Amino acid sequence: MSPSAALACPIVLIFALLGAAKILALGPMPELAAHVGFTITAYRVIGALELAGAIGVALCPVLPLLGGVAGVGLLILLAGAVTTHVRKGDRLPKLVPAVVCAALVTWYLSLLAGAGS
């Protein structure tokens, strides 16, 4: 298994689970949506985008360009998450998940870029 494929596994798992939880409004998702000032419908759209990103990363072995585009899309979502939390005045513990996920996705994209060289 290539390093990018190994790193894709946790990325796919994280974003598939989070996306599905947002779409289905499971557990704390309605409260989290309200905390950041989003409607549950808007949160479901974000969840659908996360799920689409997970699918794109999962399909990278057969559609390499899609994996890269999906990774960039996930980074855009994560930048939005960090920005939203900062604007709400959230402290570091609420930012850590998005920052760690952004680091994983950035690492994944750097491995893809290196494989394409």
Q: What is the pLDDT of residues 40-81, one digit of tens each?
A: 999 999 999 999 999 999 999 999 999 999 999 999 999 999
Say if residues 17 and 45 touch (Cβ distance below 8 Å): no
Number of alpha carbons in the 13 Å side-chain half-sphere of residue 101: 28
Three-state secondary-structure class, residue 89: coil
CA distance linking residue 75 with residue 98, whole number of Å: 9
Asked whether residue 117 carries a pLDDT value surpassing 70, the answer given is: no
User: What are the extents of the domains in the chain?
Assistant: 3-115
Asked whether residue 16 carries a pLDDT value surpassing 90, the answer given is: yes
Asked whether residue 107 carries a pLDDT value surpassing 70, the answer given is: yes
